[in-house]
Amino acid sequence: MRLVLLALLMLIFTNLAYSYAIGAGDVLHVEVYGEPELALDLTVDSKGYIEYPFIGKLQVKEETVDSIKQKVVSMLKDGYFVNPQVTVAIKQYKPYYIQGEVRSPGSYPYEIGMTVRRAIAKAGGLTERASKKKIYLTHANSATSKEVKVDMDASILSGDVILIKESFF
C-alpha cells in the first residue's frame, strides 16, 4: 500500500512539473544528446526569454517543459541537426516569498506541493504575535495581484507571496 501511494505521489508531482507554466526566474536545464557543449542551465529573464546556441533568444514564458522541448527540437532541425534528442527540465523554480509575522521572512526555494504550512515551517515558524487567521496569499501569475485570505493548508506556487499578519489578542 505504501509503495502504491508513493508511486501515485511521484506521478502527480511529475505531472505538475510538466504542466507548470515557466516564468521569469526559473532555471531550465537544456541538453542535446551527444552534444556536451549544448548542456546548459539557463535562467529565464524578466521578459520570459532564454538564450540557447544555434537558436538565439527563445520565448519560454507561460510555456511548459514539453512545449519548450518541441520548440528547441524544431529550431535545431532547421539546418543544424538531423534528429536532435533534446531534454528540457526545470532545474530550479523561482522562489516564493513569505512576509510578516514569521521568524525569518524572505525568499525561499519553491518545491512542488508547497503549502502555506510548509512555507511557515521553512521560515522558522510563526512569531508570538502572528495571527493564524490572517494569512494572505498573492499569486504571482494572477492578473490582479490581489491578496486572498487563505488557511494553513492552501497550496502555493513559485513566485507567490505569503503575508502573515499580526494578531491583536
Alpha-carbon distance of 66 to 75, in angstroms, equals 14
Alpha-carbon distance of 63 to 90, in angstroms, equals 12
Q: Are residues 111 and 76 in the same domain?
A: no
H/E segment holding residue 118:
helix 116-122
Residue 159, domain CATH: 3.10.560.10
Q: Are residues 44 and 111 in the same domain?
A: no
Overall number of domains in the chain = 2
Q: Are residues 24 and 72 in the same domain?
A: yes
Q: Which of 73, 92, 111 is the last residue of a domain?
A: 92
Q: Are residues 83 and 117 in the same domain?
A: no
H/E segment holding residue 166:
strand 161-166
pLDDT digit string (tens) for 57-115? Answer: 999 999 999 999 999 999 999 988 999 999 999 999 999 999 999 999 999 999 989 99
Q: What's at 165, amino acid-wise? A: K
In 2-154 the beta strands, taken as DSSP E runs, fall at 27-32, 35-43, 49-52, 56-59, 86-92, 96-100, 106-108, 130-138, 148-150
Residue 27, domain CATH: 3.30.1950.10
The structure's pTM equals 0.78
- Residues spanned by the domain of 66: 2-92
